[in-house]
Amino acid sequence: MKAFVLSIIALVLITVGANQILMQSGFSSAVAGSSSDNVRLSD
Amino acid sequence: MLRLLSLLALMWSLAVPAIAQEGPVDPRVSTGGAQTLEDILRRQEGLAIDDSFRSGLTGNPDAAAATVDQLGTLGGVSDSDLWRAFRYGSADISTQARNPAAKTLIQDGGMWWLKYREGPLLTIAIYLLGGTLVLLALFYMIRGRIRIHGEKTGRTMIRFKTFERFGHWLLATSFIALGITGLISLFGRKVLIPAFGHEAFSSLAIISKWVHNNISWAFVVALVIIFVAWAVHNLPDRTDLRWLAKAGGLFGGEHPPAKKFNAGQKLIFWSVIVLGGSISLSGLSLLFPFEFNLFGHTFSTLNSWGVPGLFGVQDLPYPLEPQEEMQYAQLWHALVSLVLTAIILAHIYLGSVGMEGAFDAMGKGEVEEQWAREHHSIWAQEVLDSKTFGKESN
């Protein structure tokens, strides 16, 4: 039972942690596939 | 004489067209160069067609009428030429998007993938998972629960340490979550949207995607843990042959001798490592789109070795469009996951309702000594000889 509870805690920590790291590193295809270079954002 | 010459002239005039017809005939004369009914039928059957009659027909600005002439074109290429150039990837496209796939405006092969994903892939999933559950139910009805035959001793033996069970449960819980969310994604458009509507499925899909993408890392970590913990115990040896010859005693009779893991468990272990590793790799490719191209290079290598020819099929497609890489990764990810899920369903059955005393191994970490003697006799004897008993049960 102890091992199972520990695995659930680890599961939640790894899942949330991975999401935070990936969000901050800008991994998404939307971020990787776009650029503001040479784009006129305002007149 | 004049009549004879007239007759010869008539025969010559009739013979010339006949001779001309014996030469190579363009099959697309009747359609003015467009595709024929035969082309369409072959395409519908999924057979390869020679597309050169239109893939190269993308306009020649040098041969076009000058734009300055009266009634001249607005450019050197017609709309049809331009769309064909898009379709066959020969158009000169410039874009500010940095995505590797941004320059592919029309991806012809995508229709095959979409049809396969919406049809046969779902059918395979239903038959594989449904069939496995039916077979397990039948096995349970015929064979019943595999009982501990001998008299229980009341003593227990330590089967798995906390670290081992931690790795197992991390793998199990992440796999179940990945399986459920993966099936939600797979059956969303065809089953869940018609059943629950777009709005309800939208929320479910967003949650599923978040869980699937992020929990996958826990699966990879757990995969490494169980590999480190158990790989050495799962190396094949002679006892596995005897165990397999008796089918592990599953269908009655004595349980053949086994070490810490029997041959059936070893097969499951290596299935999890190999298939789970492959699923992780293709999942990584899908998680970081266009960054890890796994299939183009693999197909090229297999073609160079002549592997497709050994099976009597055409060479595998190469080179692949960036989108095709993702499509093959998705299909591979789904198919291998379905196979592993079917194997794991059998594992869950045998580890719970299918066998008395089996769940304790992972639940408590300790097993009844008699259970160990019956199912893992060599391992049990080794443990008993080394006097490493667990605590006595009440």
Q: Does B169 touch chain A (CB under 8 A)?
A: yes
Instruction: Name the phi and psi angles at A2, rounded to 5.
Output: -60, -45
Q: Does B94 touch chain A (CB under 8 A)?
A: no
Chain B hits for A29, Cβ within 8 Å = 99, 288-290
pLDDT at B393: 39
Cα B204 → chain centroid = 24
Nearest CA in chain B to A40: B96
Q: Token pair for residue B217?
A: 């890392």
Whether B288 and A27 lie within 8 Å, measured CB to CB:
yes
B20/A15: higher pLDDT: A15
Whether B98 and A33 lie within 8 Å, measured CB to CB:
yes
pLDDT at B394: 34
Residue A34 has pLDDT above 70, yes or no: no
Residue B390 has pLDDT above 60, yes or no: no
Q: What pTM was estimated for this model as a whole?
A: 0.82
Average pLDDT, chain B: 86
Residue B11 has pLDDT above 80, yes or no: no
pLDDT at B319: 86
The predicted-structure confidence for B239-262, as pLDDT tens digits, reads as follows 999 889 888 877 766 788 889 999
By Cβ distance, the residue of A4, A7, A34 closest to B97 is A34
B308 — alpha (psi -120 to 50), left (phi > 0) or beta? alpha
Query: If you ran DSSP here, which 8-state letter would residue B392 be given?
Result: B
How far, in Å, are B62, B172, B264 from residue B271 at the CA level? 60, 14, 11
Chain B hits for A11, Cβ within 8 Å = 170, 173-174, 177, 215, 218
Chain B hits for A32, Cβ within 8 Å = 98-99, 288-289, 291
Q: Does A1 touch chain B (CB under 8 A)?
A: yes
Instruction: Answer yes or no: are the C-beta atoms of B318 and B299 closer than 8 Å.
Output: yes
Provide the number of CB pairs (under 8 Å) joining chain A to chain B.
78
pLDDT class of A7 with cuts at 50, 70, 90: very high
Residue B170 one-letter amino acid: L
pLDDT class of A38 with cuts at 50, 70, 90: low
Q: Does A33 touch chain B (CB under 8 A)?
A: yes
- Mean pLDDT check: name the lowest of B72-86, B127-141, B227-241: B72-86
- Mean pLDDT check: name the lowest of A22-36, B15-29, B140-154, B210-224: B15-29
Whether A16 and B214 lie within 8 Å, measured CB to CB:
yes
The predicted-structure confidence for B121-170, as pLDDT tens digits, reads as follows 999 999 999 999 999 999 999 988 888 888 888 899 999 999 999 999 99
pLDDT at B13: 57
Half-sphere exposure of residue B366: CA atoms within 13 angstroms, side-chain side: 14
Residue B169 DSSP SS3: helix
pLDDT class of A35 with cuts at 50, 70, 90: low
Mutate to test the interface with B, among A5, A6, A8, A11 (most CBs of B within 10 A): A11
> Minimal Cα–Cα distance from A24 to chain B, Å?
14
Instruction: Answer yes or no: are the C-beta atoms of B292 and B282 closer than 8 Å.
Output: no
Q: Does B102 touch chain A (CB under 8 A)?
A: yes
B61/B120: higher pLDDT: B120
Whether B170 and A11 lie within 8 Å, measured CB to CB:
yes
Q: Does B365 touch chain A (CB under 8 A)?
A: yes
Q: Does A6 touch chain B (CB under 8 A)?
A: yes
Q: Which stretches of B188-311 are DSSP H helices?
A: 193-196, 198-230, 238-245, 263-287, 295-304, 307-310
